[in-house]
Amino acid sequence: MRTLSKLIGLLLVLTVLISSCGIFVPVAPPDITVSDKPELTAGVDDKTPYPVEATEPPQTTNPQVSSQPEDTLGPTDKPEKSPKPTDTPSATVRPTAEPAQPMPGPTAKPTAPPTANPTTSPTQTPGPTQQPPGQLMELKYFRSKLSAQDRAVYDAIYMAVEEYRPSLELTGYDIDYDKFSDIWDAYTSDSPEHYWAGYIEVIESVGSLTVVFNYTVSKADKAKYDKVIAEKTAAILSGMKKSFSEYEKVKYIHDHIVLNTRYDVDSKHNQNILSVFIHGSSVCAGYARATQYLLNKAGIQCIYVTGKADNGSGSGYVPHAWNIVKVGGKYYNLDTTWDDPVFTPGNGTIDYSRHISYEFFLITDEQLSKTHDRDPVPVSLPACTSTESNYYVRESLLFSRFGEDEIRKLADFISRNIKDRPQFLYFKFTGKDAYDAFRSKPLGENYVKIVDATNDKLGSNVLDKSRCVYLEPKGDSYIFCYILLYK
């Protein structure tokens, strides 16, 4: 029997990478307690660049654009109160990135490992359940790509972790370390609900592999966390109407994650869903894991994806995590982290606590490839080519020009959402020419037209047109945002 040297070699290689990419790797695994901070989290910016806020006095005749910006998004968290006045805006940057790997836990010693039998379904030692839940398993993308034998190994792993077993023995399978490693990666990518599954030790002998699990939280703490997560999940899902389409379910969960999670590289358990559900803060791994977890609970297939992204800071591509979501039988990219920008207080008075971006909401591979690059995986990820469920398409906010029809569509959008008092009115243009044509005209004049059309539709002067405030996009997204002011 020998402990695989490959695992040790992998740890040594990843240890070298810590200083350059911020990956958290257990070299000498410390004991993890509920109150511990991650000891080795470091990285680089990984949030999306966002526009400068600017104002101009809206006039019904020949309004002029002011060049005085009010606020810039920056590396600090979204303010809970209105931004404080400053003379000049801060540079637009994104918050620091994080490792996309689970934190280590205390080493568990193998004790009477159960055996998985390849001739039938994997046999398990008696426990609360004998088979993984079927409905949930159907949503697991990487599991669906495995052969029947590899799926049996996957299910044996799943149940061993589900029941918090210290170890698992796989006997009789035609499986080596490399094959097992691929199955383990498939399982971890598919299973955000197993937040306690840390790293593993694999012992290879003739005809068998023994897997020793090193969990990140104690069994007692897991019971406490499970209770809180179950309660919060039930409360979140209770807000979804039975009539919701898949698109509406995804948007509802996307919006909840963005509005209720604070980006913080020092967040505890920031590689799993605990950071979001227990601490209300996380980094990209936690955002993506929590998104996957809630969408799975809502019956939506959601894939956890890792790779690199160009945050615009000049440091190049850095480690990042996001999702691929299946809506209406088609796949789309979704990045809740980059749809939750943070703001540096400027000289404005806008409260950004309810701000949500949709720039990375159900987008194509072509759109995503401008800033993101996926890591290679053993199986191919689904192509994301459809725009049918993209936010701007579904909400009729994608324009090839800007005229009376577009003003009417914006007024319609505000009116049908008036109960929520939408504050950030985002819309997008189909290309540079259309965007430049819109941007070349007085912004205040267009804002007044939108306000007048909305107030006429609502039959009262709900919106204030005394000043025009907007977010100026950067890059080539061709997205613009008016900030709606209410009387």
Residue-wise pLDDT tens digits, 209-260 = 999 999 999 999 999 999 999 999 999 999 999 999 999 999 999 999 999 9
- Smallest CA-to-CA distance from 52 within 344, 258, 316 is with 344
- The secondary element (H helix, E strand) that includes residue 398 is strand 398-399
Is 33 a residue whose pLDDT tops 60? Answer: no
Tokens for 398, please give them: 């994608």
Q: What is the pTM of this model?
A: 0.76
pLDDT interval class at 344 (50, 70, 90): low
The residues with which 469 forms a beta bridge, in sequence order, are: 55, 483
What's the CA gap between 406 and 398, in Å, rounded?
9
The residues with which 331 forms a beta bridge, in sequence order, are: 326
Of residues 315 and 341, which shows the higher confidence score? 341
Three-state DSSP state, 53? strand
Tokens for 119, please give them: 């001739």
Chain segment 34-82, per-residue pLDDT in tens: 222 122 222 222 333 333 445 544 433 332 233 223 332 332 223 232 3
| Largest Cα–Cα separation, the chain | 85
In contact, 480 and 435? CB cutoff 8 Å? yes
Q: Where in the chain is the domain with CATH 3.10.620?
A: 34-50+77-96+218-394
Chain segment 145-155, per-residue pLDDT in tens: 999 999 999 99
End-to-end CA distance of the chain, in Å? 75
CA 210 to chain centre: 34
Architecture of domain 34-50+77-96+218-394: Roll (3.10)
